Amino acid sequence: MHLSRWALGVALAGALCCGTLAQDEDKEVERLFGAAIHGRVVIRSQAANRLVALGEIGEARILQELSEEGLGLAAMGPPIIEAIGLCHSAQLRAALWPALMDGDFPWRPSVARALAEKPRPSETSGFAEHLTDPLAEVRAAMVKGFGEAQGGLDELNTMLRDEDDRVRRAAALALLDRGQGRALWFLIEELKREDKFFERPTGMSARIMVSRALSKRGVDLGAYDSRLASTIKVNAEALQKLIQSQEGERPPMESWQIASGPVLGERIGLELRSCRAGEFFLRWTDTDQLLVGQGNAAVVTLPPGTTQRLVQDLTRGYDHLEGRRFFGAAGCDMEQVLLRRSPQAPSETLVIAKGPAFVPDLRPAPLTKAYGPLIATLPDQESSDPRLHNLRSRAHAALALLGGPLP
């Protein structure tokens, strides 16, 4: 009798313990899910990754939100979307490809990165379809996925000519992983970069990313230090040794594939990032040059005095805003304007941002007025340089989606 009571007590205690553990597990799932969506920006990705690391119970919580009564993929946001790339659920992965193919889906770069995290050989054609996507972030992820899914070498070699450095890096690394040593020449150019976009050290960022990627692949960079200029003695010697170790001659390269140094005299910068219409990096210099792109930018010579006039127009636009420098809310669409009022002054940054929905009159009228003369300087004809091809029309389209159309 006593044994039966003891056994019953053990069983009840076990049931209570399991119930408590289940409740604790459910609470942890909800905590991580909430933190991934509504937590501080710096912890959202970590929370999302910890959620999917719980396995089926974490994946089931995300899947629940894809039902008709749920939040939907877009509302869950980039951290959870990118974490789906680590999931085993075929249902979750199946939700990513339609989102990528939807030109109006707000977080397409995040979807692309999720798909490229663990690419399937059966998806090679899907990756190939988006190698010409208007968004460079999407193209870069698709190149990575395409390469790992054993896509064709011809397509990867074509992507080495992409106008965006992120895409070219992804293509060169994918080719290197496939035993194509010739691709290392293009990464050596990245290790030599010294360019900046105003105060942003774009060249150093490229050097750091490439040196880490090559070291991970066992490429001997010697004493090369990506945080230091490529021209200092230790780096120059390391690069020369790497070049001498290459078989065959350096392949011919387009201007935008070649490393460049910093640009002097930047006065106005306009960075446009549209989750649907692409990305644009534009600068106007004291020497009346329009620079298009990052890295070794395309150069358009403008009539004398153009930049000074544009600086004056934009300065008046800034002054009418009474010190306000941010409009809208953080999202996948962004206009960033940089202005140096004098050649030696630091740049003043103004940002307009929003999500995928159109926001009427988001861009303040004084800025819209100042944009007109800026965009009028952009070339608008066919060009063999992909950065300049119908540039004005493309920039107009992006601006209309971002802060509203120009008059």
The reply to whether 338 and 279 lie within a common domain is: yes
The reply to whether 354 and 396 lie within a common domain is: yes
The CATH number covering residue 388 comes to: 3.30.1560
Cα–Cα distance, 165 to 189 (Å, whole number): 11
The reply to whether 237 and 274 lie within a common domain is: no
Cα 42 to chain centroid, rounded: 17
The reply to whether 300 and 356 lie within a common domain is: yes
Cα–Cα distance, 203 to 221 (Å, whole number): 18
Alpha helix positions (H), 39-101: 41-53, 56-64, 73-76, 78-84, 90-94, 96-101
The reply to whether 258 and 339 lie within a common domain is: no
Average pLDDT over residues 272-278: 83
Range from 172-176, 334-338, 403-407 that averages highest in pLDDT: 172-176
The total domain count for the chain is 2
The reply to whether 300 and 389 lie within a common domain is: yes
CA-CA-CA-CA torsion for 399, 405, 406, 407, nearest 10 degrees? 170
Give per-residue pLDDT as tens, 245-271: 998 899 999 999 999 998 999 999 999
3 state SS of 73: helix
Q: Tell me whether residue 142 is in a domain.
A: no
Contact, 151 vs 127, CB < 8 A?
Answer: yes
Angstrom CA distances, 267 to 25, 199, 203, stand at: 55, 12, 19
What proportions of the chain, in percent to the nearest 5, are helix, strand and coil? 50, 10, 35
pLDDT at position 10 is 47
Cα–Cα distance, 384 to 374 (Å, whole number): 23
pLDDT at position 331 is 75
Contact, 282 vs 269, CB < 8 A?
Answer: yes
0.85 exceeded by pTM: yes
Q: Tell me whether residue 115 is in a domain.
A: no
Whether the predicted pLDDT of 131 surpasses 80: yes
* Residue span of the structural domain in which 194 resides: 180-262
Question: Residues 64-96, buried b or exposed e (16+ Cβ, 10 A)?
Answer: ebbeeeeeebbebbbbbbbbbbbbebeebbebb
Q: Which of 262, 282, 305 is the last residue of a domain?
A: 262
Burial class of 14 by CB neighbour count within 10 A (0 to 12, 13 to 18, 19+): exposed
Q: Tell me whether residue 324 is in a domain.
A: yes
Q: Which residues pair with 272 in a beta bridge?
A: 280, 335
Average pLDDT over residues 83-105: 92
The reply to whether 320 and 345 lie within a common domain is: yes
Q: Tell me whether residue 325 is in a domain.
A: yes
The reply to whether 381 and 271 lie within a common domain is: yes
In degrees rounded to 5, what are phi and psi of residue 77? Answer: 90, 170
Half-sphere exposure of 160 toward its Cβ, with a 13 Å CA cutoff? Answer: 25
Whether the predicted pLDDT of 16 surpasses 50: no
Q: Are strands 298-301 and 326-328 parallel, antiparallel or unpaired?
A: unpaired
Q: Nearest to residue 192, comparing CAs of 298, 297, 296?
A: 296
Give per-residue pLDDT as tens, 152-168: 999 999 999 999 999 99
Q: Are strands 289-292 and 278-285 parallel, antiparallel or unpaired?
A: antiparallel
Percent of the chain with pLDDT over 90: 75
3 state SS of 325: coil
Q: Which of 204, 234, 262 is the last residue of a domain?
A: 262
Token pair recorded at residue 256: 């935008």
| Strand ranges, E, within 145-230 | none
The reply to whether 205 and 276 lie within a common domain is: no
Taking the CB of residue 247, how many other CB atoms lie within 10 A of it?
A: 7
Q: Tell me whether residue 247 is in a domain.
A: yes
Q: Which of 209, 230, 262 is the last residue of a domain?
A: 262
pLDDT at position 401 is 84
pLDDT at position 323 is 86
Q: Tell me whether residue 77 is in a domain.
A: no
Cα–Cα distance, 172 to 323 (Å, whole number): 44
Token pair recorded at residue 379: 């070339």
pLDDT at position 3 is 46
Give per-residue pLDDT as tens, 330-383: 777 889 999 999 999 999 999 998 877 778 888 999 888 998 999 999 999 999
The reply to whether 294 and 398 lie within a common domain is: yes
Average pLDDT over residues 61-78: 91
Question: Residues 105-133, buried b or exposed e (16+ Cβ, 10 A)?
Answer: bbbbbbbbbbbbbebeeebbebbbebbeb
The reply to whether 277 and 216 lie within a common domain is: no
Q: Which residue has the tokens 């692949």?
A: 217
Give per-residue pLDDT as tens, 180-216: 999 999 999 999 999 999 999 999 999 999 999 999 9
The reply to whether 188 and 307 lie within a common domain is: no
